[in-house]
Amino acid sequence: MSLARILGTALAKLHAGLRNPDFNLTINTVPRGDENKKYFLWHIDILPRLTTPAGFELGSGMSINTVLPEEAAAFLRDMAV
């Protein structure tokens, strides 16, 4: 329930603050070959699609982050939902 609540809040803040952007959401689990380790860390990535991919993104498969992480965190933290 805690994860669902946190994810719901994060998505609501993105929806309100960025005017309902398209986004990709991925859940990263244990890497192949590490299944027998005693522990591993899952994490969720949310990638809002705010710009049109261009040469670097298309050629490399990587996204360019145009906002400092600290600024993005402050924006989301201050967004009321």
Encode pLDDT of 20-49 as tens digits: 999 999 999 888 888 888 888 889 999 899
The beta-strand segments (E) located in the chain are 22-28, 43-49
Kindly state which CATH superfamily the domain 2-78 is placed in.
HIT-like (3.30.428.10)
Radius of gyration of the chain (CA): 16
pTM as predicted: 0.77
Domain boundaries, the chain: 2-78
Return the amino acid letter for 58: L
What is the pLDDT confidence band of residue 16, given thresholds at 50, 70 and 90?
Answer: very high
Per DSSP, the residues of 43-77 read EEEEEEE-S---HHHHHHS-----S-HHHHHHHHH
Alpha-carbon gap, residue 81 to 77, rounded angstroms: 10
Encode pLDDT of 49-81 as tens digits: 988 889 999 999 888 888 999 999 999 999 998
